[in-house]
Every structure is written in C-alpha cells, then in structure tokens.
Amino acid sequence: MSLILRTDARFADALSDALLEQGALSVSMEDASAGTAEEAPLYGEPGLAVETAWPQSLINALCEQGDDPAQLIATACAQIGLAQAPDYRVEPVANEDWVRRSQSQFEPIRISDKLWIVPSWATAPDPNAVNLVLDPGLAFGTGSHPSTRLCLQWLERTIRGGERVLDYGCGSGILAIAAQRLGASAVLGVDLDTLALLAAQANAERNRVDARFINTETAPDFQADLVVANILANPLILLAPVLAGHTGHGGRIALSGILETQAEEVMAAYTPWFALYVGASDGGWVLLEGLRP
C-alpha cells in the first residue's frame, strides 16, 4: 500500500527519513502544486545553495500491506517532534511485474540517423547504426537528458578517426564508449564516483570497447585531442584550468550540463585558453565548444 501525506518544507525531509526508519519500504517526494501556477521548480548544483523540499510537498511512502498507517505516521511524527500528524490517504498498490514495467519505460533513443542508445532488452531499430547498449543504472548518462544528447551529437560530428578523447565526469561512460565506437583511438573516462566508474567499466565491456576509467584522485597523464565534460556549470567553472591543461594545442573542447542562462559565466572562465561559443542547444540546455590555439 502507499501512504500519501502532505506537509510543508519545514518537515518534509525529516518526515521522509523518519518514515523510512519506522519501516516504510521506500519514500518519494514531489511538489504538491505540480501542474498548477504555483508549481515551484527546484534546481541546484555543487557549490550552490538549494532548497531540498517544495513549499508544499506530497510524500509517498510505500509500505507493507499489513502495516498500520496511523501508527506508522504517528510514530514517525513523534520521532521528529511534530505534534500533529499531517492529513494522509491510503492507496492500494497492485501486484505487478515491476522489472518488466520499469523496462517498458526505457526504449531505444535516437541521437541521430547514425547513433542510437539501446537498452539491453530492446531490439535495435537500425542494426546498421552505431548502437550503444546501455541500461538505466546508478550512474548518470543514459542518453535521455538533453545535455547528454548534445555531447553525443558533438562527438559524432567532430570525430574523424584516431583521436585521443578525455571524458571528464564520465558517469555511465556513455560518451567515452560512443567516442571509441565512432573511431577514437584512445579514450579515458574520469569520475569521482566509484560506483559510476564500475558502471562505466561494465558498460564498456558490454559494448566491446577498451576505454579506460579512473578516479579523479588519480591525476590523468593524458593529453587529448578532444575533451568533453557533461557536468554542471559551477563545477565546470572550477575545472577550467584542469580541463584546459588536458586539451592539447589544436585540440577541441565541449562542455555541457549548462543552462542557457549560465553560458556567459562558463565561457568567461575559459577565456584564458579558449574562445568558447554556443555550438548547440536543446530544451534550454547548451553545449559550449571551442578550439585551443
């Protein structure tokens, strides 16, 4: 069964944690005003403050069928010092094949006529295309986000064959894998997340490419012809000297994970090394690219 509670930003995070501690199987949270004029988008990235809950939030707690909803909520509220329990409703959860249902949400993604992202359980729409086999997982980057698509399209139109490519903030490894499948001769992926590196290595093996993946704690001794970084604006600004240092003279760089409103600030951070420009945009996100003299 599912318990749906409405609460405000003061208690949303604490109540979610308390429900989990009291036995809820999972907890999710969404904007109670979603779909209305009062909908409040939340956005943040490393180094910047961000609210973690909407002004009014709906908490959805998945529980065992035999649990007592009133007792579970009362105990969770008492744990965080909330004197009055919020209103709630109980909704049944039908038995389903959750694996099959989850898989049905992810279909092959067309990046271009030549390039597709295909889940392992799906059939490639075009067997003659470059089909990257990639399943949704713990690491960011499955091809569905505009910033990832922008980077994949950049790699496709930039790689001519034989390039050395650095994928900084590699996540699932999708960009590194695509680079090698498109003709790069040597590819290195870098990330600070150990789970992401494990996922990237597994994805590389599944796609039969020999890209290497290392932790950011290991300073890569790697000069690249092409550097691609799909992260977020604030980390990209901080990483400007690092990424420039790994871009060989005459090499190209592509940066994504940047909102249109952030482009000028990111470009300014790279002016000592590159004259960046907006190479492409998609749904309010941009890809910045440039050549190192």
Give the tens place of pLDDT for each residue, 150-184.
999 999 999 999 999 999 999 989 999 999 999 99
| 155 contacts 230 by C-beta, under 8 angstroms | no
Domain boundary among 95, 128, 161: 95
Beta strand 115-118 with 109-110 is antiparallel
Write the CATH number for 36. 3.30.70
DSSP 260: G
CA 87 to each of CA 9, 54, 59, 73, 154: distance values in angstroms, whole numbers, following the listed order = 15, 17, 11, 10, 50
Model confidence, pTM = 0.70
Write the CATH number for 201. 3.40.50.150
Q: Which helix (H) or strand (E) holds 195?
A: helix 194-206
pLDDT of 99 reads 47
Domain boundary among 95, 128, 162: 95
Q: Which domain holds residue 21?
A: 2-95
- Residue 149: which region, alpha, beta or left (left: phi > 0; alpha: psi -120 to 50)? alpha
Q: What is the dihedral of CA 196, 167, 258, 249, to 10 degrees?
A: 160
Q: Are residues 78 and 162 in the same domain?
A: no
| 154 contacts 182 by C-beta, under 8 angstroms | no
Q: Are residues 151 and 277 in the same domain?
A: yes
pLDDT of 289 higher than 90: yes
Q: Are residues 79 and 174 in the same domain?
A: no
**Among the ranges 17-21, 132-136, 161-165, which has the highest mean pLDDT value?**
161-165
101 occurs within a structural domain: no
- Centroid of chain to Cα 267: 22
Alpha carbons within 13 angstroms on the beta-carbon side of residue 268 total 5
Which range is least confidently modeled, 13-17, 96-100, 244-248, 271-275?
96-100
Q: Are residues 71 and 180 in the same domain?
A: no
- By residue count, the chain amounts to 293
